[in-house]
Amino acid sequence: MAKRKAAAEKEASPDRKGSLVVVESPTKAKTIGKYLGKGYTVKATVGHIRDLPQRELGVDVEKGFAPKYVTIRGKGKALAELRRAAKASGRVFLATDPDREGEAIAWHVAEQIGDGAKVRRVLFHEITQDAVQAAMKHPVKIDDRKVEAQQARRILDRLVGYKASPLLWKSVKTGLSAGRVQTVALRLIVEREEEIRAFQPQEYWTIEAQCEAQGKQFTAKLHKIAGKKPELHSRDAAEAVVREVKGRPFVVSEVTRKERRKRPPAPFTTSTLQQEAAKQLGYSSQRTMRTAQQLYEGVELGDEGAVGLITYMRTDSTRAAPAAIDGVRGFISHEFGKKYLPEKPNVYTNRKAAQDAHEAVRPSDVHRRPEQLKKYLSAEQFKLYQLIWKRFVASQMTPAVYHTTTIDFPVGQARTAERVPAPYLFRAAGSVVVFDGYHVLYREGHEVEEGLTLDDLAPVPALKEGDQADVRDIVPSQHFTEPPPRYSEASLVKELERLGIGRPSTYATIVSTLRARDYVRVDQRRFHPTDLGATVAKVMVSRFPDIFNVGFTSEMEEELDKVEEGELGWQKVLANFWHPFADALGKVDTKEMIREAYDVEHLDTTPCPECGGKLTVKSGRFGPFIACSNYPECRYTKPLKRDKAPDRPTDEVCKECGAPMVIKTGRYGEFLACTRYPECKHTRPIPLGVKCPTCGTGDLAERRTKRGRSFFGCSNYPDCRFSTWYRPVPDTCPRCGYLGAEKRATKARGEYRKCLKCEHEFAVPEGTPATIAP
């Protein structure tokens, strides 16, 4: 290692003055400094050093959208140190992250340092000794097109933020923000909530035959009625079919056997990493990216020192370097055997809009197994590294192979001469694993969420045409159609990527901003829009329907990509956006926005209580308010608040003062409050009609963690500490008779119940509308 370091120093150092290497973070600086050794000074900018000013627009629209950059507050000292270090160095290598943001930081540093002849750009796609030394041997110029793409995005976001946000301050509330991409993401969440609220469950029935043959029990489901998909929308219709079928023979008419091969998933992109980390680890997008950044920049591995464990984590590509492919194929062959190694490397196709600037997210060295590094990593670093490592290794393994069998049982008399199918066709289906393939190492998030394993696959008897099965029972089951599920963090990121909204580097910021602004809350890992979020989406979309639009936002992302590719000028992109946006701004009536946000039509008929004059809505420093139109003669004002749901009476009694309690609506939903407020401030969650299975006396109710996550606990806390993440419902367990079960659901099983007492799992009782969406 010492010889390699000395050789690298000799080749890369231009003179005795030494070289300055500029990176973004101190951790990255420490790791890279170890690889470069003497003759190199490594300093960190700690993020951006220059940006648009905070307290003004900072963009001259009339002069070709010229930006005004200023040194970020608090970064003056760091910038001065960089200037001094650059002056004392023979060469300056700008090694900020290899993406648009990193390119922009490098450009700003170069602008401030000056003396462009000695400034070069280096790109570290992974931070290992070989990768760092190879990059230092091949410096490049700063990519002006990438800088222009980042600049165009920054100016776009500034124009929207500084022009649209003040409209929210005047019409809804001070301190709110609108964002070019953020508001579109909020719109998706709000519109999904509207779909759910408008959804009307439709009843339908399925019929299953409990059969036995060759000593094996299996299920055959009603597959067709008179050659068409069954449509049974009532108990009467289902029971009529049962009466028709009962007692008739189930004779096999056709057996179909097929082989199904399930290919391993591609290595991670930023989007799929965030999705799988949310599903399998419960990590937010922000937590995933923060942890991935740590793994990329370097972790101390004992005597080996700091090592970058993964490649760059902001990417939309599934491509891996040939050397990495060769390495993982050798590892698979040695560790798992030839049968798990395909003849040729697996190749994955990127999605259409992918830029393919970087490799997929993968381990920098596949031979660094997670279990070997566990003692050096934090718990969250270990879990994420293990996920990335397993996904990459699995991506180059052989498919899992299944044998699937379907058996058809036509029931009832068919008119063969007229080629009319039998009235009822029942079908049994089963699968068996022939070869586990990549599943020996890795399972995808949806399989983990649903608790699926290879052992869950059920074979069917080896019947042939003409064989008959014994029918033990014909069982009709009631179901209800389900509304679309609310977005989870994983499904929202997936939808944003599918629609072309945002880019890998922005997904985490979009989600965290919505939460920070209180536009959404998270309940059981699903996004619910708050009243504030719904109002913001409503007034922004109604005033700017063509701007905060999925199609328009996606087109803007494509145009920014074209700027980076040199196909479109950055000022042209800004002009395409600005002109329709400015036209829409000019048509905004703030008073109409206030009326829409607060529903204040009643003001037209409500006189001023002090002078009898007409009341009107005005905008002030702290948002909109009601005022008398006779100002300044009459100074009557009143705060303007959105109407809240009226209090609802209950039979509950306050445990502190004995007064009746009512149901109120707060930031996190409904709760019980004493009617003697503010004299008595007692509140408590609304009981769910289920007694605590631990103490037997307390009521189970919804509660929240310090971070706002919903869970369900006993009202006798802290004396009783029972809790569960699943909503308790008052359904009776058919095994032990306990009144209380967890409401659970998976895509494979649909909704079901799990007894709080004996943990027996059972079907949703008949007559209960099932809703998978929390």
Mean pLDDT rounded to a whole number for the chain: 86
Instruction: Give me the pLDDT at residue 599, please.
Output: 67
Instruction: Give me the pLDDT at residue 772, please.
Output: 35
- pLDDT tops 60 at residue 416: no
Tokens of 362: 């993968």
- pLDDT tops 90 at residue 304: no
- Residue 150: what are its φ and ψ, rounded to 5°? -65, -40
The H or E element containing residue 279 is helix 270-281
Instruction: Give me the pLDDT at residue 427, please.
Output: 95
Mean pLDDT of 112-131: 87
DSSP-derived 3-state class of residue 526: strand
- What residues are labeled active site? 312
Burial 140-178 (b: 16+ CB within 10 A, else e): eebbebbbbbbbbbbbbbbbbbebbbebbbbbbbeebbb
Instruction: Give me the pLDDT at residue 703, please.
Output: 83
Strands 424-435 and 216-225: antiparallel
Estimate the share of the chain in helix, then strand, then coil, as percent rounded to the nearest 5: 35, 25, 40
Instruction: Give me the pLDDT at residue 773, please.
Output: 35
Looking at the whole model, is its pTM more than 0.85? no
Instruction: Give me the pLDDT at residue 34, please.
Output: 87
470-492 pLDDT, tens digit per residue, is 999 999 999 888 889 999 988 99
Instruction: Give me the pLDDT at residue 415, please.
Output: 47
Q: Report residue 345's pLDDT band, with 50, 70 and 90 as the boundaries.
A: very high
- pLDDT tops 60 at residue 10: no
Q: Report residue 769's pLDDT band, with 50, 70 and 90 as the boundaries.
A: very low
Instruction: Give me the pLDDT at residue 3, please.
Output: 47
- pLDDT tops 80 at residue 645: no
Q: Report residue 1's pLDDT band, with 50, 70 and 90 as the boundaries.
A: very low
Mean pLDDT of 526-535: 89
DSSP-derived 3-state class of residue 753: strand
Q: Report residue 248's pLDDT band, with 50, 70 and 90 as the boundaries.
A: very high
Q: How far apart are CA 235 and CA 457, in angstroms?
A: 31
Of 6-15, 46-55, 268-277, the one with minimum mean pLDDT is: 6-15
Q: How far apart are CA 37 and CA 34, in angstroms?
A: 6
Instruction: Give me the pLDDT at residue 356, please.
Output: 60
Instruction: Give me the pLDDT at residue 668, please.
Output: 61
Q: Report residue 170's pLDDT band, with 50, 70 and 90 as the boundaries.
A: confident
Of 206-215, 243-252, 519-528, 740-749, the one with minimum mean pLDDT is: 740-749
Query: Which DSSP string corresponds to 47-100?
Result: S-SEE--SSS--EEGGGTSEE--EEPTT-HHHHHHHHHHHHT-SEEEE---SSH
Instruction: Give me the pLDDT at residue 417, please.
Output: 46
Strand order across the beta sheet in which 19-23 lies: 40-44, 19-23, 91-94, 119-121
Tokens of 25: 């973070």
Instruction: Give me the pLDDT at residue 449, please.
Output: 52
655-689 pLDDT, tens digit per residue, is 888 888 888 877 666 788 998 888 898 888 888 88
How does DSSP classify residue 727?
P
273-299 pLDDT, tens digit per residue, is 999 999 899 888 889 999 999 999 999
Of 173-177, 319-323, 379-383, the one with minimum mean pLDDT is: 173-177
Q: Report residue 15's pLDDT band, with 50, 70 and 90 as the boundaries.
A: low
- pLDDT tops 60 at residue 531: yes
- pLDDT tops 70 at residue 456: no
Instruction: Give me the pLDDT at residue 344, please.
Output: 94
Query: Which DSSP string corresponds to 460-511?
Result: -----TT-EEEEEEEEEEEEE--PPPPP-HHHHHHHHHHHT-S-TTTHHHHH
Of 336-340, 418-422, 536-540, 591-595, the one with minimum mean pLDDT is: 418-422
